[in-house]
């Protein structure tokens, strides 16, 4: 398993993984291309036989975690922990996660994020977004 910066060549594999992980909320290929290679983005992929995980941030005055995902068969091996560390700057980081995504919320809590607010009915299934923050480390 290696972690390396994402490139335009990773767009098809990450688009496939997006569809697997996020279904109707998955980014289409155009959005994946923007997120992996766009301005102010930091994107890292985990590669085994192919791409099995990825993480993307968008940096302004704070760093937003746009996405983190790991293929189902690679979970609970510390891979998301490594991906998050690879895109972290040590500064304040924010993210939004569905209130119904208990696995991801448990992961973020384990990584030191705390809830600072909610966006009501933010997702297409009617779920709230939980806004989480990790202060400067």
Residue ranges binding ligand COA (CB under 6 A)? 21, 67-70, 75-81, 97, 101, 103-104, 106-107, 110
Q: Which C-beta is closer to ligand COA: that of 44 or that of 97? A: 97
Q: In which residue are the tokens 């990450």 written? A: 14
For residue 70, the tally of other CB atoms under 10 A from its CB is 23
Nearest approach, Cβ of residue 61 and ligand COA (Å): 21
Is the Cβ–Cβ distance between 56 and 25 less than 8 Å?
no
Return d(Cα 69, Cα 80) in angstroms, integer. 7
Nearest approach, Cβ of residue 37 and ligand COA (Å): 19
Return d(Cα 135, Cα 55) in angstroms, integer. 19
**Phi and psi, residue 44, nearest 5°:** -130, 140
Q: Which C-beta is closer to ligand COA: that of 110 or that of 135? A: 110
Q: Which C-beta is closer to ligand COA: that of 19 or that of 29? A: 19
Q: Which C-beta is closer to ligand COA: that of 41 or that of 81? A: 81
Q: Which C-beta is closer to ligand COA: that of 43 or that of 97? A: 97
Nearest approach, Cβ of residue 9 and ligand COA (Å): 22
* C-alpha closest to that of 15 among 57, 80, 67, 65: 67
Return d(Cα 18, Cα 29) in angstroms, integer. 9
């Amino acid at each position: 398993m290696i972690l390396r910066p994402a490139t335009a060549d990773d767009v098809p594999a990450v688009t496939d993984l997006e569809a697997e992980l996020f279904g109707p909320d998955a980014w289409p290929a155009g959005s994946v291309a923007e997120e992996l290679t766009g301005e102010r983005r930091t994107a890292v992929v985990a590669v085994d036989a192919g791409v099995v995980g990825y993480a993307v941030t968008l940096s302004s005055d704070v760093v937003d975690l746009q996405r983190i995902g790991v293929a189902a068969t690679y979970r609970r091996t510390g891979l998301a922990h490594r991906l998050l560390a690879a895109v972290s700057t040590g500064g304040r980081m924010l993210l939004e996660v569905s209130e119904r995504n208990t696995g991801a919320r448990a992961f973020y809590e384990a990584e030191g994020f705390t809830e600072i607010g909610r966006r009501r009915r933010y997702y297409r299934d009617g779920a709230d977004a939980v806004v989480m923050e990790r202060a400067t480390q």
